[in-house]
């Protein structure tokens, strides 16, 4: 959601920062954009967006939801200023979007979704967004796309020390604090990162009766901590451990049709990861083992309701990558995922065991890059095969094309099957095919750099799962859904002397309609899926001069239908956002000053029906690098 932010941040190595807000990934990748070999070496034909380190620093006091909503062409479905936020890739549902941390899935084991509003940007060193499904590589359930989050790679250096701290305050009584540091020698590496925030979120709004008021019962408190330790057994043999704990305590404000609300929810997560890699000249072994516990406590004193839900997930993966010859490489890996939760004193479990393989071949002097992949997976004893292929070809030094085709499959989540009341044990898994293709033009002519990218996609899913109902909602299979559309990205950069000017426009047109339905006389056939905007536009314009940068971002989100028969909808909205940044040194310490002014036109809008978003608001902050 757009915000008006005035951020003061302090960060080391300011002189090396890149000022473009998004770095376009080349079709034929020549540098490592991720520590995950599946993305670096076996996805040549998939569309990938990499958020650069400069943008991550600018949003370091905010959540991943704010960053993605403003900087990435993906629809973030937000239930309010401090409410649940989920991802919608190309008309997919939130449960069809994968979120991975250092290569392991972190979506709630019961819900099958990840609330990106609870993920602090400051914890992540690399963020990649993968468009289109690739169940063979990222696992069944990856239908629409994937958000890949990674921490900093351990640095083994006897002279390495780093310590910084920051804080912020803003409108609606927002207060934010963060401290992080790391230290290492030639064998050991340690790091710690602590983040905390609170806010009243009592922004002005108009209630359901038409009266002006401040949003009630909307306070937020959260804290999170992450620690990492790594040991270099030998030059190419490293073992590491990561622990990530967070607690998110928020009041749930009333919807516009509610006179009041005393609802409250507390979410807590513990994520543990043990990772080992051994790199040889022509091969690499790796193993990951993780445990995740997600707790949720919902309370509504009006109806004397208090519920506790706890979900657990164990994930383990072992893999081997080898260079087969000069132009080919092979990846074999075996993931095991066990999820379980308690429902009415009973344990409901879901087990997945898979064997996956990917082969990448480069030909024609590396201009042609082809990847074949497949995953054989058993889910609670039921087997499924998910093949796929993608490729890229550099026609000239300035023009490249790509294509991707993958079989997609998603089994119902534990909540969809067993939640009480409302679960549906008779649900069928979603399955179908995802295809997309595109081209990229990159031209450097004198002072100008031009990038133009077009993607077209189509996805046909059978037995799509949709929650329907009144007092009690229940998931149903609605037979078949067809999603298709086109996305464009256009950027021009002009550099002269110490000036750098840039202009960019990104557009998307998405049709996601029900083709057929099992429900008699279903009004959804031929209609757009709820909360899937047909049209959206992002535009950026700005400049960089010496250590100062300015950017204006404008977003347009089209009509979103809120019912399956298109009888009710949310009107389009437009928001304007301004970002400023200045880098300097104070003694031996680096100082980065930045400002973000969002929704500067004070647009009154909703992302989810009856959940108003704030108008103009601000946040001031700082970060200072001590070591």
Q: Tens of pLDDT along 29-82?
A: 456 888 899 999 999 999 999 998 888 888 888 899 999 988 888 999 998 877
Residue 328 is predicted with a pLDDT of 93
Residue 621 is predicted with a pLDDT of 87
DSSP strand pairing (145-150 vs 97-101) = parallel
What does each C-alpha distance from 619 to 59, 84, 197 come to in angstroms? 11, 21, 12
98/119 Cα distance (integer angstroms): 14
228/112 Cα distance (integer angstroms): 26
**Is 109:311 a contact under the CB 8 Å cutoff?**
yes
What one-character DSSP code corresponds to residue 280?
Answer: -
Scanning the structure block, which residue is given the tokens 């807590």? 268
Residue 410 is predicted with a pLDDT of 96
**Is 405:389 a contact under the CB 8 Å cutoff?**
yes
Which CATH code of 3.40.50.150, 2.40.10.10, 2.60.40.10, 2.40.170.20 fits the domain covering 8-625?
Answer: 2.40.170.20
Tokens, residue 135: 């169940």
Tokens, residue 144: 């629409």
What one-character DSSP code corresponds to residue 83?
Answer: S
Helices (H), 446-572: none
Residue 11 is predicted with a pLDDT of 35
List the domain boundaries for the chain.
8-625
Residue 30 is predicted with a pLDDT of 52
User: In 3D, which of 117, 143, 115, 114 has the Cα closest to residue 130?
Assistant: 143
The HSE-up count of residue 350 (CA atoms within 13 Å, CB side) is 24
Residue 23 is predicted with a pLDDT of 44
Give every residue of the chain whose pLDDT is below 50, as ranges.
Answer: 1-29
515/606 Cα distance (integer angstroms): 28
Question: In 200-325, where do the E strands start and end?
Answer: 204-206, 212-214, 220-234, 237-252, 263-279, 283-300, 305-323
CA end-to-end span of the chain:
34
pTM of the model: 0.92
């Amino acid at each position: 959601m757009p915000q008006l932010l005035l951020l003061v941040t302090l960060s080391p190595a300011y002189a090396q920062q890149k000022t473009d807000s998004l770095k376009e990934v080349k079709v034929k990748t020549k540098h490592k954009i991720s520590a995950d070999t599946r993305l670096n070496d076996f996805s040549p034909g998939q569309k990938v967006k990499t958020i650069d380190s400069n943008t991550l620093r600018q949003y370091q006091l905010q959540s991943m939801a704010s960053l993605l909503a403003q900087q990435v062409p993906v629809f973030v479905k937000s239930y309010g200023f401090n409410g649940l936020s989920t991802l919608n890739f190309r008309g997919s549902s939130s449960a069809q979007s994968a979120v991975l941390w250092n290569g392991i899935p972190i979506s709630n084991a019961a819900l099958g979704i990840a609330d990106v509003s609870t993920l602090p940007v400051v914890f992540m060193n690399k963020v990649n967004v993968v468009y289109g499904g690739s169940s063979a590589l990222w696992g069944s359930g990856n239908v629409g796309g994937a958000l890949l989050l990674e921490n900093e790679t351990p640095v083994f250096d006897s002279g390495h020390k780093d310590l910084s701290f920051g804080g912020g305050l803003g409108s609606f009584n927002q207060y934010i604090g963060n401290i992080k540091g790391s230290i290492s020698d030639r064998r050991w590496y340690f790091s710690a990162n602590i983040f905390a925030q609170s806010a009243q979120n009592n922004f002005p709004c108009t209630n359901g009766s038409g009266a002006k008021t401040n949003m009630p019962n909307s306070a937020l408190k959260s804290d999170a901590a992450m620690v990492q330790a790594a040991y270099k057994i030998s030059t190419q043999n490293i073992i590491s451990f990561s622990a990530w704990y967070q607690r998110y305590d928020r009041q749930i404000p009333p919807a516009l049709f509610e006179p009041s609300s005393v609802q409250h929810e507390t979410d807590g997560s513990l994520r543990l990861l043990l990772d080992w890699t051994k790199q040889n000249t022509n091969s690499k072994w790796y193993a990951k083992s993780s445990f995740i516990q997600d707790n949720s406590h919902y309370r509504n004193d009006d109806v004397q309701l208090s519920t506790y839900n706890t979900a657990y997930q164990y994930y383990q993966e072992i893999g081997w990558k080898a260079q087969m010859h000069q132009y080919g490489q092979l990846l074999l890996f075996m993931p095991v995922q066990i999820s379980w939760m308690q429902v009415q004193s009973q344990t409901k479990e879901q087990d997945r065991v898979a064997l996956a393989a990917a082969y990448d071949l480069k030909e024609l002097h590396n201009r042609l890059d082809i990847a074949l992949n497949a995953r054989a997976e058993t889910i609670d004893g039921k087997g499924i095969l998910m093949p796929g292929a993608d490729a890229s070809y550099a026609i000239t030094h300035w023009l490249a094309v790509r294509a991707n085709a993958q079989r997609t499959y998603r089994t119902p989540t534990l909540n969809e099957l067993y939640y009480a009341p409302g679960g549906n044990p008779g649900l069928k898994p979603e399955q179908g095919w995802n295809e997309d293709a595109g081209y990229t033009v990159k031209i450097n002519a004198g002072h100008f750099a031009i990038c133009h990218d077009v993607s077209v996609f189509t996805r046909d899913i059978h037995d799509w799962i949709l929650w329907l109902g009144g007092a009690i909602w229940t998931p149903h299979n609605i037979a078949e859904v067809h999603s298709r559309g086109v996305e464009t990205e256009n950027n021009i950069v002009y550099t002269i002397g110490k000036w750098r000017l840039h202009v960019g426009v990104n557009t998307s047109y998405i049709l996601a309609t029900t083709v057929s339905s099992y429900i008699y006389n279903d009004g959804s056939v031929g209609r757009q899926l709820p909360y899937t905007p047909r049209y959206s536009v992002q535009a950026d314009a700005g400049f960089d001069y010496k250590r100062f940068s300015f950017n204006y971002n404008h977003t347009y989100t089209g009509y979103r239908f809120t019912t399956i028969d298109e009888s009710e909808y949310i009107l389009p909205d437009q928001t304007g956002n301004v970002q400023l940044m200045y880098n300097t040194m104070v003694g031996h310490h680096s100082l980065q000053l930045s400002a973000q002014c969002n929704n500067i036109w004070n647009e009154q809008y909703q992302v989810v029906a009856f959940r108003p978003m704030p108008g103009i608001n601000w946040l001031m902050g700082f970060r200072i690098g001590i070591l």
